[in-house]
Structure 1
Amino acid sequence: MKKNNYLKSPDLLPIKGNERNIGMFGFAMIWVGMAIVLAAFAIGGGGIQHLPLGMVILATVIGSVAIGIFMSVISDIGIEHGLSFPVYMRAPFGTIGTHIPSVVRGVTASCWFGINTYFGATAINAILNLLFDFDNWLLCFLLFAVLQLINTSLGIKSIERFADLAAPIIILIACWMYVTLADQAAEQGKNIWSWVESPTTGGAAFTAFMVVVMANMGFWATLAADMPSLSRFFKAPKHERNWFKRNRTQLIGNLIVMPVFNTFMIIIGAVSYIAVSNADPIVALQGAASGFILGILLLMIVLAQWSTNTSANVIPAATIFSNVGGPKVPFWVGVVIAGIIGTLAQPWSLFDFLNTVLLIIGGILTSIVGILFADYYLLRKRRVNVHDLYELNGQYKYMHGFNMAGMIAWVIGGIIANLLPAYSSLVGFVVGAILYYVLAKYWWFKKYKQKEIENPSDEKFLGITVGRDWVIQVDDDLEVNQELVNENIT
């Protein structure tokens, strides 16, 4: 490897088949941990102010399944080629252009890490206050952050083991939480299925409904964009051409487990708001329980934030920062950077504005998802010149490292999406995909030819479907992997 070829950072090389160790059950357990996240309660608390609980649930299911489909579609990049999100982004955005949308995603993930860590820290502080009369949430925040960052630095298998431990505990305590809050609401004479703070009808009701749908999509849009960073570790059969069979590890998690548990969290947030006029369950639980029971419930909150942060926030952010920094920024350094950004964002001040922020984020990031979809499925038809993704002067260098089709589609898609905030996630995806497809096919790729588009060969440009593990040579004196030379890709 040339010493200045930062594209070949070891942490960003394709994952081989024998290194993929997350199975269907393991990913389902990871999703249980990821989906039970306190920030979701804010969506339920916001929705129940204008819609009955049944409509909030329906909107949540629709939004969850829709973003689950987006996740599953984009995940194939990691499963087929073993590529992470920031590496594949070199195709639609360029070897340098990739850093701009990627860093936006990385900073967003880091802020989510901070928000979830803050929730966990307040729960830890409450537990210590209960047991030892200790009260210092900031110290709890710093210690909790460090523990999560260490857990993530130990690798994906460590995260899966933690999820296996935490998931059943979280499920049981979440059920107890729902029953407790529902009983508390009933004692006040409130029927959780019919109570609405400010009922709406007609067009206003539909807008409120769509805001809940889009908030749920925006909530998970960050993960939908960079699912390849996680899916590259999923077990998948070689020589399998059926998309559903090849992607079976992720489908139950994305389309069943996530919608079910995300919806459950939204319900708890809504019922919490009905019971105590506050969607923050820590406030609600401190008024509904005490002693040992309160300690156990708060422990659930700690485990939920921990399991969510490692998989959904720190891994994607660290991978992105490692991509930007090259070999001088290994994965563990990216983990530390994510922790620092998440802390400096002062997450304790973000919760009250969360629903508004989610709509904005949803439009910006789902436009990236739309661009990835158009680039990977519609233009390249899942074939990728993986070798050139790691070359400074390869086909993805484009114009000084920028694919202007991707940059223009992303900016316009994000702007239009946020002009229609009630539909931001869907608008972002559709506009991003259509704009990129037109600009790339009829303009950019006329100027910068793409080998996999000009010659869509399965044997040269597919990965696990044809049984290939992509191996990139990083030795100083070898620029091209011998396997790729033998196949005459270049």
Structure 2
Amino acid sequence: MSASQPGEGAMPPEGLGYDPRLYNADLAPVPSSLRNWSWLNMSTVWMGMVHNVVAYEAAAGLISMGMSAMQAIAAVAVAYFMLFLAMWFNAKAGTRHGVPFCVLVRSPFGPFGANVPVVIRGVVAMFWYAVQVYAGSQAINAILSTLWTPWAHFNAGFLGMPANGWLSMGLFLMLHALVVSHGVHRIRNFELIAGPLVILVGVIATIWGLHEAHGLGPIFSQPSKLHGTDGALTFAIGVTGMIGIWSTFAVNIPDLSRFVRTQRDQVLGQLIGLPITAIVFTLMSVIVTSATIIAFGKPIWDPVKLLLAIDNPVVTVLGGLVIILATLSVNVAANIMPAAYDLVNLFPRRLNFNRAAMLVLFAGLLYVPWYWFQNATTIFHALEIIAGLLGPVTGIMLVDYFVLHGQQYDIDALYRYSETLHGRYGINPAGFYAMGIAGALAIVGFFVPELSAMADFSWFIGVLVGGGLYWVFGRAAATRAAGLSSGPAELASEPE
């Protein structure tokens, strides 16, 4: 069995001493022969993820802060390049050893202590999955209402949502189930089509924008409102906000990179798919929005509202299909996949990837996202706090792999539990002390008004302080943790 074609209830290999609470076929290292993702697969996965409604609207927030169009594009470039660096280095362990985030994080947190950051990441992933499902179902609802007038009258509601909304969500869930039904292999093939297709539609929209605006349009002629120290601070805050969109994914990027053939493939794929594609996509969104000023007298950043403003049934249907495709693309790779692996890690003897993914599809609805949309500020504020807690995990993982273990894990040790080595509860105190202190510093600005400026840089604080403290605590505990860095992994070595 393999991670690409998961088995059900697979027992640990005999003679290796693996703990069945820490192992199943989906958590096992992917053999080199089955790591068949090329740089093209990695880049198209990222293309599908960065082309979403949140990314499209992000430039609006930057310009509303007073930036010019060029400054907004520069902020996106800086943010995504820094994200690329974090994901490049945190993906290396996944590519080298072929194991997912939930297994790698056992090294700095202990075999059972790792469940804490895994659960935090899973909670965030499942919530964003639910939000994306609701948003995509609204596009389905709009399309069906356009094609069949009676559909719009199925508005008898229950549990806070009309009947046509429930039916639209059911249809969208079926699309999700179709994509994930054959595991990671089908996800890879879907993203190979979805990513480039969304870009193609973006190019068409950009051509329309250039035609309507007779060039780059009025947005590029508007001067910046940012000057001096305050301007530099606002620019930095904007960069941090853009990083926040993908900060959680920086933690579990090994879930994808474990299937990539070589380090070159994962680096090149992420370089093309993340900073380069994101910058191009932001430029497209600015041009299209520039055109809306000419066409409608005001900037329209929300793509759904833009479709309604154009008021053409054909455009509404085709544009809605693109929004559905883009939403499905980001949801499968960025939310369902990490949440499914996290569930498999918690219940390895009962779940495989396929079962866990299907469980995520329905469990996510328990978040009742249609209610959160009515009070989005509160939930997004809460998610910023949770994301602040994951910044330290990124820093801790980087220090653990590159500094304390010299880019070489004993993979067998990550599937074993020893009370003598790991303590009674299987927790590495060094990781928890570092995450606790750094996490508190990262989120204190959300609760103490005098320190509110720290909240704007929570991810940077978490990464730097978490990594620094773990280096100190980890070195102090090096003797006890020596079993996790005893030598090269035998099951999975880095492909050349």
Pairwise same-fold verdict (TM > 0.5): yes
The SS at the match of 2:407 is coil
User: What letter is aligned with 2:244?
Assistant: G
1:456-475 equivalences under 5 Å are 457-458=487-488, 463-465=492-494
Query: Is residue 113–residue 426 contact of structure 2 (8 Å, CA) maintained in 1?
Result: yes
The SS at the match of 1:225 is coil
Counterpart position of 1:480? none
| Cα shift at 1:327 | 1.4
The SS at the match of 2:225 is coil
Counterpart position of 1:331? 353
Counterpart position of 2:237? 211
TM-score of the aligned structures, taking structure 2 as reference length = 0.83
Q: Distance in 1 between matches of 2:312 and 2:111?
A: 55
1:296-315 equivalences under 5 Å are 296-315=318-337
1:413 maps to 2:428: no
User: What letter is aligned with 2:96?
Assistant: E
Aligned partner of 1:429 among 455, 459, 463 = 463
| Cα shift at 1:177 | 3.0
Query: Is residue 45–residue 273 contact of structure 2 (8 Å, CA) maintained in 1?
Result: no
Q: Residues 362, 399 of structure 1: CA spacing in aligned structure 2 closer, same or farther, 3 A cutoff?
A: same
Structure 2 unaligned residues grouped into runs of 5+:
1-11, 153-163, 293-297, 446-453
Aligned partner of 1:65 among 66, 77, 81 = 81
Q: Distance in 1 between matches of 2:408 and 2:267?
A: 22
Aligned partner of 1:231 among 251, 257, 282 = 257
Query: Is residue 78–residue 228 contact of structure 1 (8 Å, CA) maintained in 2?
Result: yes
Q: Give CA deviations for 1:215-261 in whole Å, capped at 9, x if unaligned.
A: 2222112221111111111113xxxxxxxxxx111112222321133
Q: Give CA deviations for 1:396-431 in whole Å, capped at 9, x if unaligned.
A: 634511111111211222222233122222221111
| Cα shift at 1:466 | 8.2
Q: Residues 190, 358 of structure 1: CA spacing in aligned structure 2 closer, same or farther, 3 A cutoff?
A: farther
Q: Give the % identical residues.
A: 28
1:38 maps to 2:72: no
Q: Distance in 2 between matches of 1:206 and 1:436?
A: 31
Counterpart position of 1:222? 248
User: What letter is aligned with 1:342?
Assistant: G
Aligned partner of 1:250 among 266, 269, 273 = 266
Q: Distance in 1 between matches of 2:218 and 2:227?
A: 20
Task: Identify which range, 205-214 or 18-27, moves more after superposition.
Answer: 205-214
Counterpart position of 1:91? 107
Counterpart position of 2:94? 78
Counterpart position of 1:22? 37
Query: Is residue 19–residue 416 contact of structure 2 (8 Å, CA) maintained in 1?
Result: no
Task: Identify which range, 395-404 or 289-298, moves more after superposition.
Answer: 395-404
| Cα shift at 1:462 | 9.0
The SS at the match of 1:140 is helix
1:192 maps to 2:219: yes
Counterpart position of 2:426? 401
Q: Give CA deviations for 1:156-203 in whole Å, capped at 9, x if unaligned.
A: 22112212222332112112334545766789x97112448x934333
1:54 maps to 2:79: no
The SS at the match of 2:53 is coil
Query: Is residue 385–residue 452 contact of structure 1 (8 Å, CA) maintained in 2?
Result: yes
Structure 1 unaligned residues grouped into runs of 5+:
237-246, 468-490
Task: Identify which range, 146-155 or 99-108, moves more after superposition.
Answer: 146-155
The SS at the match of 2:113 is coil
Counterpart position of 2:408? 383
Query: Is residue 42–residue 273 contact of structure 2 (8 Å, CA) maintained in 1?
Result: no
Q: Distance in 1 between matches of 2:387 and 2:233?
A: 16
| Cα shift at 1:20 | 1.2
Aligned partner of 1:152 among 180, 189, 194 = 180
Query: Is residue 79–residue 231 contact of structure 1 (8 Å, CA) maintained in 2?
Result: yes
Q: Distance in 1 between matches of 2:491 and 2:419?
A: 18
1:445 maps to 2:473: no
User: What letter is aligned with 1:203?
Assistant: T
Counterpart position of 1:10? 25
Task: Identify which range, 295-304 or 3-12, moves more after superposition.
Answer: 3-12
Query: Is residue 363–residue 426 contact of structure 1 (8 Å, CA) maintained in 2?
Result: no
Q: Residues 178, 111 of structure 1: CA spacing in aligned structure 2 closer, same or farther, 3 A cutoff?
A: farther
The SS at the match of 1:328 is coil
The SS at the match of 1:6 is coil
Q: Give CA deviations for 1:102-140 in whole Å, capped at 9, x if unaligned.
A: 111111111221222222211111111111122323321
Query: Is residue 340–residue 357 contact of structure 2 (8 Å, CA) maintained in 1?
Result: yes
Q: Residues 263, 435 of structure 1: CA spacing in aligned structure 2 closer, same or farther, 3 A cutoff?
A: same
Aligned partner of 1:169 among 193, 197, 211 = 197
Q: Distance in 1 between matches of 2:339 and 2:21?
A: 18
Counterpart position of 1:280? 302
Counterpart position of 2:155? none
User: What letter is aligned with 1:18?
Assistant: S
Q: Distance in 2 between matches of 1:431 and 1:182?
A: 46
What is the count of residue pairs matched by the alignment?
Answer: 450
Counterpart position of 1:473? none
Q: Distance in 2 between matches of 1:186 and 1:145?
A: 41
Q: Residues 109, 41 of structure 1: CA spacing in aligned structure 2 closer, same or farther, 3 A cutoff?
A: same
The SS at the match of 1:299 is helix
